[in-house]
Amino acid sequence: MVEGSITANGYTRKWWKEVVVYQIYPRSFQDSNGDGIGDLNGITSRLDYLKLLGVDVLWLSPHYDSPNADNGYDIRDYRKVMTEFGTMPDFDALLKGIKERDMKMIVDLVVNHTSDEHVWFVESRKSKTGIYSDYYIWRPENNGRPPNNWTSFFSGSAWSKDLLRGEYYLHLFAEKQPDLNWDNPKVRGEVYDLMKFWLAKGIDGFRMDVIPFISKDPHFPDCPKEYAAHPEYIYAAGPKLHQYLQEMHREVLAKYNVMTVGEALGVTLEQTPLFVDERRHELNMIFHFDVVRLNRQGWRWKPWTLPELKAIYARFDRELDLNNWQTVFLSNHDNPRPVSSFGDGSVMYRERSAKVLATMLLTLKGTPFIYQGDELGMINYPFSKIEDFDDIEVKNAWKAEVLTQRVNPEEYLFHLRKTSRDNSRTPMQWDDSPNAGFTTAAKPWLAVHPSYQEINAKQELADPNSVYNYFKTMLELRKKTLAFVYGDYRDLDPDNPFLFIYTRTLAEDKFLIVLNFSTNTLTYSLPDGLRTGQLVLSSFGGQEENALALHLAAWEARIYRI
Ligand code: ISL
Ligand code: CA
């Protein structure tokens, strides 16, 4: 990295633009006390593994006290560690271990809603005049029906009637996840206080859960029918959203050198600068859903093409200027495994396609996010029956779609095997011992993938050609190649159905990235009389330096300095 300069290719240099983030889903990462559930001490025991891999920042999915209706995204006490995950001293030890290894940690900020077991909600439902009465969104019945036609992401109405208070309350997710009323300044004050509590411990920022949903139109007009399949675009368009994000920045974030990333379900590319333009002082970056939703419509899988994927990256590069930073990710705890979604999970091509995807993830423009297990080339789970699933989103949809005979079970399972969030929540595969070394318990909270004897960290650490070692090599390369961070991006052949070929250019440093997204052996003549130049990295042994044409093996990646 070119030390000292404060700009690069017109961008203002920032530490959070130059890092690679690794997401940990604590429940599935490492169990340390034999109860079959991952925990904080388990993560601490694996910090050397993460340091060796070469990631810079760890994003910890919610570690707070929760009844786990939605696996921690339903928080009961923001200042208490979830009992299954350990204690506050365990959290402090984890953060200390991370800092000692010169890594950083961001935590999950889930403040669009709480658990219905949070004391605020317990008190709020007791009366219409107490100090917590307006912490949530309560509305009277509307002629025997919910206040409006809004739907929950976890099936059914977004409103539930509370018999104690005799009114409906809003929950864009599960019934046990009531939405907070951000129009109440006391609620905003509570949120800013809990953010400062964790910042005071030394964390390095936040990933903000469905943050665009926090503002609602208090008149609650119906969701227009053309948005029925995608209500998120209505929920993310509240009237005071940016006012609250700017207030949060002023009251809290401006005082710290931290990183913020908003989970921007329902935010379009055109709206993105409103969130991340550095001159607006709101968020540093956001997660878009265009890529991870390319192969699905709701819970149904759908085919996709490589030109469609390339068009998304091209559009983002074209529309976002030097004041706007972005993220690059192919998975997380809500999405299936990238090799299964965008690569080839077969025995023949699993590893090769994982390396192609790793090359793309780590050479595109934007802060890359790696999800736990993707560095091993883990793949989707072979779910065979509804009982195999844990996810409330899946179980609620089963009740709403299958038990009502709207969809037959086989069709539902066909799609959920490809789109379920549980695909990425199966335990981390550490070695070939029982339960993949994730737990000593007889039964982990969610079944280990049957592939663990072939796909595990121990085997891959020892194999120089493993997916893990390819990720490690790519991470080392990215760390010393500022062109992959700030360099100009140009797609050389956007319509090519099998090949993703692009350049990244920063001053004199110009790199050519060539990715064969197919099982076809490809012969390809470079456009514009380009030559391949000096080989920097090849995932499958290909050379062809200073060549005008390439002969690519199935699922091969190459990087040249040209
Ligand atoms: O897209 C979705 C709805 O169909 C889900 O994948 C997901 O709920 C959505 O992306 C929002 O995700 C975040 O908020 C949810 C939680 O279940 C997810 O785990 C979290 O990432 C509610 O907190
Ligand atoms: Ca445990």
pLDDT in tens, the chain (562 residues): 455 679 999 999 999 999 999 999 999 999 999 999 999 999 999 999 999 999 999 999 999 999 999 999 999 999 999 999 999 999 999 999 999 999 999 999 999 999 999 999 999 999 999 999 999 999 999 999 999 999 999 999 999 999 999 999 999 999 999 999 999 999 999 999 999 999 999 999 999 999 999 999 999 999 999 999 999 999 999 999 999 999 999 999 999 999 999 999 999 999 999 999 999 999 999 999 999 999 999 999 999 999 999 999 999 999 999 999 999 999 999 999 999 999 999 999 999 999 999 999 999 999 999 999 999 999 999 999 999 999 999 999 999 999 999 999 999 999 999 999 999 999 999 999 999 999 999 999 999 999 999 999 999 999 999 999 999 999 999 999 999 999 999 999 999 999 999 999 999 999 999 999 999 999 999 998 899 999 999 999 999 999 999 999 999 999 999 9
Q: Compute the half-sphere exposure of residue 416: CA atoms within 13 Å on the CB side of its CA.
A: 27
Packed helices 241-251 and 185-199: angle between N→C axes, nearest 10 degrees: 40
What is the C-alpha to C-alpha distance for residues 8 and 2, in angstroms, rounded to an integer? 9
> 177 alpha carbon to ligand 1 midpoint, in Å?
12
What is the C-alpha to C-alpha distance for residues 101 and 18, in angstroms, rounded to an integer? 18
Which residue, by CA, sits nearest to atom 20 of ligand 1? 209
Nearest ligand atom owner, CA of 43 = 2
Looking at the DSSP bridge assignments, the partners of residue 558 are: 514, 538
Three-state DSSP at 171 gives coil
Find out if CATH 3.40.50.720 is the number for domain 7-112+185-387+423-475.
Answer: no
Are β-strands 259-263 and 285-287 bridged in parallel, bridged antiparallel, or unpaired?
parallel
- Where does CATH 3.20.20.80 sit in the chain? 7-112+185-387+423-475
Q: Could you identify the atom of ligand 1 that is nearest to the CA of residue 70? A: 17
Residue type at position 32: S
> 521 alpha carbon to ligand 1 midpoint, in Å?
39
Q: Could you identify the atom of ligand 1 that is nearest to the CA of residue 173? A: 22
Q: Could you identify the atom of ligand 1 that is nearest to the CA of residue 174? A: 22
Ligand 1 pocket mutation, candidates 73, 235, 401, 423, criterion most atoms within 8 A of CB: 73
pLDDT on residue 3: 55
Burial 174-202 (b: 16+ CB within 10 A, else e): bbbbbbbbbbbeebbebbbebbeebbeee
Which residue, by CA, sits nearest to atom 23 of ligand 1? 73
Nearest ligand atom owner, CA of 236 = 1
> 34 alpha carbon to ligand 2 midpoint, in Å?
6
Long-range pairs, 184-192, Cβ under 8 A, ≥24 = 184/134, 184/135, 186/131, 186/134, 186/135, 187/135, 188/244, 188/247, 188/248, 190/120, 191/111, 191/248, 192/248, 192/251, 192/252
Q: Which CATH superfamily is domain 113-179 in?
A: Oligo-1,6-glucosidase; Domain 2 (3.90.400.10)
Nearest ligand atom owner, CA of 83 = 2
What is the C-alpha to C-alpha distance for residues 139 and 429, in angstroms, rounded to an integer? 47
Query: In CATH, what number does 487-561 get?
Result: 2.60.40.1180
Tokens of 434: 């029982």
> 37 alpha carbon to ligand 1 midpoint, in Å?
21
